[in-house]
Chains A and B, each alone.
Chain A
Amino acid sequence: MNTLRATSFVVPESLNASSPPEIRLGRRDYVKMMMLDRVTGNFINTRFDKLPDFLQEGDLLVLNNSRTIPAVFHVNVLRNGLVWKKNKEVRLARCIAKNVWQVLIPDLQLRKEDVLLFSEGLRARVNAVEEPFTVVEFSLCGTQLFNELYTMVEPVRYEYIHEPWELDYYQTVYATVPGSVEMPSAGRAFSWELLQTLRKRGIKTAYLQLHTGLSYLLDDRWHQHPSSNKERYEIPATTLAATKQTKENGGRVIAVGTTVVRALESVAALPDSKNHSGWTDLYINDNTALRTVDGLITGFHEPEASHLDMLSAFIDREQLITAYHQAIDSGYLWHEFGDINLIL
């Protein structure tokens, strides 16, 4: 089954998932799942709601409960107090401090002290231009800032999305800590019914937060290498204790999403007795020895995505690419509304 093929692959346009699974299949957990064996490279084609059949009592799933926030806005730009540009698109990229954000404003040469008018009650002053991003400081902070942002609610949607799906479609069912610019999509296929089934079978769950930043910068000139893409994480002590106990008892720690791998491996060497939070620039690749995570639930990634480097820490790169060719041949769907890859 696993004959070696090319070292890369091309995803046909027809395999870009453009609608949420609950719209096209009736349920979010009815997406396809490829179960890929880390050691042998063998794979099984199945459906995501069969996940409990591949896990064992005592295994632990760790999920990122960061919630997607509205991140796309249209603003007028003031220069020297006068309207300079109208209705320009702004994408939030990453929160740096309380009311200071990196934003992406395509095709606009902004200057320090320019002002972005988000609404009557909210403006942002340009503090710095650091291509490809612009650093802005909002006129509000805390709940007042988010209250304004939520009144202009639009999620980040990419070119393969043809309908303006509401922000609610860009959430996992367990998303409860607002802060991600893009949905941590690996967990999107979970339904509460499936989570309850796992619980009843003795498969545990634990949560952490890693707020995602903008992944695609709308211009192929710019690529963010993980080592320069810092992300903020918070891991409760209870989650770290659960990972430790799981491993001591012979269970497996399975990360739901590459964000969870990044967060857990960033603190793997630290004591687990307290909550951990911080920024990570950890770059996981085939040279990385994973210390905490034993398995991964993730989507299917594009050839140039650094996520593939991370997946190579779990499975031989050639076996992975072979499986990806099989996924393409079997019609697996890519991106946030797409199908799932379980690597165990």
Chain B
Amino acid sequence: MKKEQVVIITGASRGLGKALTLAFAKQGAKLAICSRGQKDLVAVRKEALKIGAADVLAVNADASNARDIDRFISLIELSFGHIDVLINNASTVGTSPIPYLLDTTEKDFQDIININTTGPFLMTKRVLPGMLQKGIGSIINVTSEAGKTGYAGWGVYGISKFALEGMTETWADEVNDTGIRINMVDPGEMDTEMHALAVPECDYELALPEEVVDVFLYLASDDSKMINGQRFEAREFTPVSASKGAIQ
């Protein structure tokens, strides 16, 4: 990764978002992170700076709210001048345990779509103009197995990720040939607070968030310059299989 790449990570206060923040911090990135709730975010910022981040802008913001998104990205543009990488990570499973669609209220349906699908749409729409002007940039959407195959028990969460996957392909086609790339990563099931909400009585082995970051580092690097509109499964990914020397 180029030193001092400007990397945005939404939902960065815990789980995969936190692991990604720390992974990019180790590479010396300039980070812009957001989440709802300042306390955990400030702690992540502190840790990221300690392990090598060139700078960290931590903003208390809702990644599905258009005004918050404009504030967050405008502060990044004012502070760092440009954006190299956006990782749309923030998401919710909604009510725990996840009810059947048959038992889902309209409000819950809309709330989950708003956070998991509309949020990445608004965030990407706000970030892309700067990338298009420079002719370079990488956007990575975090998806799920439940966004590829419909499962009873994953409810609206799965539907929101199906939409995100379709949106990734549409964005990718729109920006084809501009130097921008938009891809998606299914990190697999991880030992996170969100997974505990989705599968409260999980009895199988889960990956740690820190174990799935390599594919994100690859997609942020110049080694993936020609990759656009692709779906990656983090647990199947090896740096060698993707591109020699992709991961430092």
Task: Show the binding face of A for B, using Cβ within 8 Å.
Answer: 65, 67, 69, 142-143, 146-147, 150-151, 153, 166-168, 173-178, 192, 195-196, 207
Contacts and interface: CB of A to CB of B under 8 A. Distances in A.
Contacts of A178: 74, 77-78
Nearest to B69: A168
B146 interface: no
A150 B132 contact: no
23 contacts: A65-B129, A65-B133, A67-B74, A67-B77, A143-B75, A143-B78, A146-B71, A147-B59, A147-B71, A150-B74, A153-B67, A153-B71, A168-B70, A173-B129, A175-B129, A176-B77, A176-B129, A176-B130, A178-B74, A192-B128, A192-B174, A196-B178, A207-B133
A177 B133 CA distance: 12
A69 B129 contact: no
A280 to B, nearest CB: 21
B66 interface: yes
Contacts of A151: 71
Given A153-B67, A174-B129, A143 B57 contact: yes
Contacts of A166: 66-67
Contact of B133 (A67, A69, A167, A174): A174
Contacts of A173: 129
Contact of B71 (A65, A142, A150, A192): A150
A143 B73 CA distance: 11
Contacts of B129: 65, 173-176, 192
Nearest to B60: A147
Given A143-B78, A175-B129, A176-B129, A167 B71 contact: no
Given A173-B129, A176-B130, A146 B70 contact: no
Given A153-B67, A168-B66, A146 B74 contact: yes
- A-B pairs with lowest CB-CB distance, top 4: A150-B71, A176-B130, A178-B74, A143-B75
Interface in B37-88: 57, 59, 66-67, 70-71, 74-75, 77-79
A72 to B, nearest CB: 15
Contact of A192 (B57, B79, B130, B132): B132
Contact of B75 (A65, A147, A196): A147
Nearest to A207: B133
A96 to B, nearest CB: 17
A166 B79 CA distance: 24
Nearest to A199: B178
Contacts of B128: 192
Contacts of B79: 142-143
B71 A176 contact: no
A151 B67 CA distance: 8
Given A175-B129, A176-B129, A167 B78 contact: no
B172 to A, nearest CB: 14
A146 B78 contact: yes
A166 B174 CA distance: 26
A192 B131 CA distance: 12
Nearest to A63: B133
A175 B73 CA distance: 12
Interface string B91-128: 00000000000000000000000000000000000001
Contacts of A176: 77, 129-130, 133
Nearest to B128: A192
A210 to B, nearest CB: 16
A116 B133 CA distance: 38
Nearest to B82: A176
A151 B65 CA distance: 12
Given A146-B71, A147-B59, A176-B133, 15 more contacts: A69-B74, A142-B78, A143-B57, A146-B74, A150-B71, A153-B70, A153-B71, A173-B129, A174-B132, A174-B133, A177-B77, A178-B74, A192-B174, A195-B132, A196-B174
A170 B194 CA distance: 38
A173 B126 CA distance: 9
Nearest to A65: B133
A143 B129 CA distance: 21
Contacts of B174: 192, 196
A173 B67 CA distance: 16
B78 to A, nearest CB: 6
A78 B178 CA distance: 53
A312 to B, nearest CB: 31
Contacts of B132: 174, 192, 195
B126 to A, nearest CB: 9
A183 to B, nearest CB: 14
Contacts of A195: 132
Most buried by A among B70, B74, B78: B74
Contacts of B67: 150, 153, 166-167
A153 B69 CA distance: 12
A150 B70 CA distance: 8
A147 B77 CA distance: 12
A196 B79 CA distance: 28
A166 B71 CA distance: 13
Contacts of A143: 57, 75, 78-79
